[in-house]
Structure 1
Amino acid sequence: MEGTMDGAAMAGKDSALLGKTGAEPRAGDQEEGLILAVETSCDETAAAVVEGGTRIRSNIVSSQVAIHRRFGGVVPEVASRGHVEQITAVMAAALEDAGVHPRDLAAVAVTYGPGLVGALLVGLMAAKTFAWVHGLPLIGVHHIVGHLFAHRLAGGPEPPWLALVVSGGHTELIYIPNDHTFEVLGRTRDDAAGEAFDKTARALGLPYPGGPQIDALASSGDPERYAFPRSWLEEESLDFSFSGLKTAVLNLLNDARQRGDGVRPEDVAASFQAAVVEVLVEKTVRAVRRYPGVPVVVAGGVAANSALRREMDRRAEEEGFLWSAPPLALCTDNAAMIAAAAWPRLSRGWFHGMDLNARANLGLEAWAAGDGVAAFPPDDPPDGRRRN
C-alpha cells in the first residue's frame, strides 16, 4: 500500500513501535525478506515495508512541501523539526498498513547520507532505536542508491544497466554491472539539474518546488524562443554543468526588467527546460554508445519531467536502446526505494553497527566499498577489511 499522511492523520499511530529492549541483533526471516526502511534526507518523512526487495507492502510519505513553500525552498532546521514531529507516527503507519509486526522483519534500513545532516540524524536515530529495541540488523543506505533501485519496485531491468540520476541535489550518469558495484561515468561540476529548475522557477516567481512548475508552464511556451547555452564541457566528458544556463536565464530576466521589456514566462520556461533536457539526454546517449545493448534507467525527482521522458523516447527509438523510469510516485523521495537498495546488503549479510553516523557528503564509491559496515560474512568482507 502506498500513501501520504499529515500530522493529524498520524496522531496516535506509534503503538507498533513499542517492544522489548536490549535484544541481540538478529536477521529475521530472510526468505520473506521484510525490510522496514526510513528516509529523511531532505524534506520528506518516509517509512516503508518492502518484501524481497521488490514488493511494496506499505509506503508512507509525510511531505513538508506546503511548509517550505512559504520560504521558497527547504529550510534545514525547519525540515529537521518536521521529521522529529512525524517520524514515529510515519514508521508506525508503515507497519500497520503492511500488516507487519516487528518480529516479522528481517532488517531495518535507513538513509544515512548524503543529505541535510540534521534531517538525516532524525531518521537514523529512529531507525537505530527501532533496530536495537527489536534486535534487528541495521542496514545504512546511500540515498542515490535508493533512487537507482526504485525501478526494481516496478519490474525494472536487472544488471547490467546504465542510470541517469537527476534530482535537486544530484545529476550523475552511473554504470551498474551488478547490485554491488557503481561506476560513476559523469556528474555535475556545479548545479544539479533539479537545483537549476528550482532557481529558475524562483527567478520566474513560481512557487516551490520549481521542477513541476517549470514543466507545467513550459507546456504552453516556445522552446526555441531563447537560445540558452548548452554546456558540453570536454569532448569525451560525461560530466554536466548547469550554472552557466542558470546565469543566462537570470541575465535575460534582469536585462528585460532594466529595459522595461516584457518576457513571456512560458517561453523562458520552455527554452530553459529544452536546454537542460538536451544535455541530459545527449550525455546519456553517449554513455549508451560506450555500453551497447545495456538498458537505461532514469531516476530521481527530475525523472518525472514530461519533456525529459519525451526526448528519451525519441532518442531511444533513434539509437535503438531500451529505457525506463520508475512510476512518478517512486521518482521523488520515498522509503520503499531505500528498502529495495538494502535488499542486496541483506542477502549479502552486510550490516552496520549502532555507531553508524549521518554523512552529509557520503560518497557513492565509499558506500559501495562498505563504508561503516560492521558485520559481514568471513569470506565476504568490505574492501577496506580484506585480509591478504
Structure 2
Amino acid sequence: MGVKILGIETSCDETAAAVVEDGVKILSSVVSSQVDVHRKFGGVVPEVASRRHLELINPVIKEALEQAGVGFGDLQAVAVTQGPGLVGALLVGLAAAKALAFALGVPLLAVNHLEGHIYANFLVHRDLSFPLVCLVVSGGHTDLVLVRRHGDYRLLGRTRDDAAGEAFDKVARVLELGYPGGPALERLAREGNEEAVNFPRASVEGLDFSFSGLKTAVIQHLHRCQRAGEEVARADVAASFQKAVVDVLVEKTLEAARRTGCRDIILAGGVAANGRLRAAMQEGARREGRRVLYPPAELCTDNAAMIACAAYYRYLRGEEAPLTLNALPGLPLAPA
C-alpha cells in the first residue's frame, strides 16, 4: 500500500485537487479554471475568485477522488497550499483541508505554493540530484532558489518589482491581446522579429531581477509610434519584449548555477511553459555542460498534484501542521 495524499490548491484563480501516491504517481489531477470569469475584468478579482472557490471546492475534491478510484478512507494525509497567494482564496482551501484532516484523523500538511511549483519537476523527473538551482517564474513570482535537499531552500535572487509573468500580462494588455496575456503574447511573438526593437535590460546587482523598466520602455515605444503616426508592428514588439525578458532570466539563472556549482537547473511556474524561455535556457546550459529540466505545461500552471508531491516529503519528515493553521498570503519560501 502506497502513501496516498489528497492535495488542495486555491492560491489564486484555479480550484484544484489531486491524489498522488508516494510523491510520484498522479492518480488524479482536477483543475477548474476561472479564466472565463475574470477575462471580462482583464485580470483576477480576489473577491470573485474566493466566491468561485467556495462554489467549486467540494465538487472538485469529489471528482479528484472518483478519478483516482479511491475513497476518503484510502487517504494517508491531506495537503493544502498555505501561501503565498490571495488570502480569501487560500482560506477556502485551508478550511476544506482542515475539515477533512480532522474528520479522517489523518495528518494535515501545509505546503508553500512556490515549493509546490518546484516539486512539479519531481513528479516527472526521477533522476534529479541535489543541489540544484530552480528558477520559479510566474505571474506573481520571479525567484532563483537553491534546493540543497528536500525541504532545504535558499533564496538566491528575486524580482525587485514586477514578476516576469506580470510584465508579460501588462505588456499584453497594452498590445490589446486580452487575458490571460502571457500565452497570447508568446503566440504573437512567433510572428515577429525579436531584433526589431532593442529594449533595455535592467542592470541589477547580484542575482535579483527587475522588469518594471522594461515594461515602461515598451509603453513608451508604443506612445512614440502613436505620436509619430506610425503603425505599430505588434508582433515585433512582442518578440523583442519577450527576448529581453528571456535574456535576463537565462543570464541570471546560469550565473546562479555557476556560483553554486549546480549541474541541474529546473524551471517552475506558469512562465516555465514559455517555449522561447525553454529553448534559450537549454542552449545556454548546453554550452556550459549543464542540464535543464522542466515539467509539462499542465504542471507548470497552478495544480494540486504539485502540492501533494511536495507534501509527501513533509509527510516522511513528520511535519504535520496544526488544525489552527492559517493562511499566510506573503509566506516566504526561504530566507535570502
Q: CA deviation at 1:294?
A: 2.4
Report which structure shows greater RCO (CA 8 Å, sep ≥6). Answer: 2
Which residue of structure 1 lines up, in the alignment, with residue 96 of structure 2?
Answer: 126
After superposition, the C-alpha distances for 1:306-344 in whole angstroms (9 at most, x for unaligned) are 110110121111111011000111000000000011011
Separation (CA, whole Å) in 2 of partners of 1:248 and 1:324:
32
The counterpart of 2:199, out of the listed 223, 228, 234, is 228
2:293 paired with 1:338: no
Separation (CA, whole Å) in 2 of partners of 1:48 and 1:131:
15
Q: CA deviation at 1:83?
A: 0.5
Separation (CA, whole Å) in 2 of partners of 1:285 and 1:245:
21
After superposition, the C-alpha distances for 1:148-168 in whole angstroms (9 at most, x for unaligned) are 000111125142211001000
Separation (CA, whole Å) in 2 of partners of 1:90 and 1:143:
19
* Correspondences of 1:314-333 after superposition (within 5 Å): 314-333=283-302
Whether the 8 Å contact between 1:171 and 1:192 is mirrored in structure 2 is: yes
2:280 paired with 1:311: yes
* Correspondences of 1:208-223 after superposition (within 5 Å): 208-223=179-194
Q: CA deviation at 1:293?
A: 4.5
2:128 paired with 1:161: no
Separation (CA, whole Å) in 1 of partners of 2:4 and 2:297:
24
Separation (CA, whole Å) in 2 of partners of 1:309 and 1:246:
21
Report SS of the residue matched to 2:219: helix
The counterpart of 2:175, out of the listed 183, 200, 204, is 204
The counterpart of 2:32, out of the listed 40, 62, 80, is 62
Letter paired with 1:261: E
Separation (CA, whole Å) in 2 of partners of 1:321 and 1:112:
33
Which residue of structure 2 lines up, in the alignment, with residue 170 of structure 1?
Answer: 141
Which residue of structure 1 lines up, in the alignment, with residue 224 of structure 2?
Answer: 255
2:328 paired with 1:359: yes
The counterpart of 1:81, out of the listed 51, 54, 60, is 51
Whether the 8 Å contact between 1:232 and 1:279 is mirrored in structure 2 is: no
When structure 1 is superposed on structure 2, of 287-296 and 82-91 the one drifting more is 287-296
Whether the 8 Å contact between 1:37 and 1:49 is mirrored in structure 2 is: yes
Q: CA deviation at 1:32?
A: 1.2
Which residue of structure 2 lines up, in the alignment, with residue 282 of structure 1?
Answer: 251
Separation (CA, whole Å) in 1 of partners of 2:38 and 2:222:
25
Q: CA deviation at 1:33?
A: 1.1
The counterpart of 1:105, out of the listed 75, 79, 82, is 75
Q: CA deviation at 1:232?
A: 2.5
The counterpart of 2:11, out of the listed 38, 41, 54, is 41
The counterpart of 1:180, out of the listed 151, 175, 183, is 151
2:187 paired with 1:244: no
Letter paired with 1:123: G
Could you say what the CA RMSD is over the residues aligned between the two structures, in angstroms? 1.2
Where do 5+ consecutive residues of structure 1 fail to align?
Answer: 1-30, 369-388
Q: CA deviation at 1:262?
A: 1.2
Separation (CA, whole Å) in 2 of partners of 1:256 and 1:351:
57
Report SS of the residue matched to 2:210: coil
After superposition, the C-alpha distances for 1:260-280 in whole angstroms (9 at most, x for unaligned) are 221111000000000000000
Separation (CA, whole Å) in 2 of partners of 1:292 and 1:140:
31
Letter paired with 2:318: G
Whether the 8 Å contact between 1:61 and 1:334 is mirrored in structure 2 is: yes
Whether the 8 Å contact between 1:163 and 1:175 is mirrored in structure 2 is: yes
Report SS of the residue matched to 1:365: coil
When structure 1 is superposed on structure 2, of 217-226 and 284-293 the one drifting more is 284-293
Separation (CA, whole Å) in 2 of partners of 1:283 and 1:186:
9
Separation (CA, whole Å) in 1 of partners of 2:89 and 2:142:
21
Runs of 4+ in 1 over 2 A off after TM superposition: 291-294
TM-score normalised according to structure 1 size: 0.85
2:106 paired with 1:136: yes
Identical-residue share of aligned pairs (%)? 57
Separation (CA, whole Å) in 2 of partners of 1:298 and 1:103:
35
Aligned positions, number: 335
Separation (CA, whole Å) in 2 of partners of 1:314 and 1:180:
29
Q: CA deviation at 1:70?
A: 1.0
Report SS of the residue matched to 2:334: helix
Whether the 8 Å contact between 1:165 and 1:299 is mirrored in structure 2 is: yes
Q: CA deviation at 1:259?
A: 2.6
The counterpart of 1:195, out of the listed 166, 180, 184, is 166
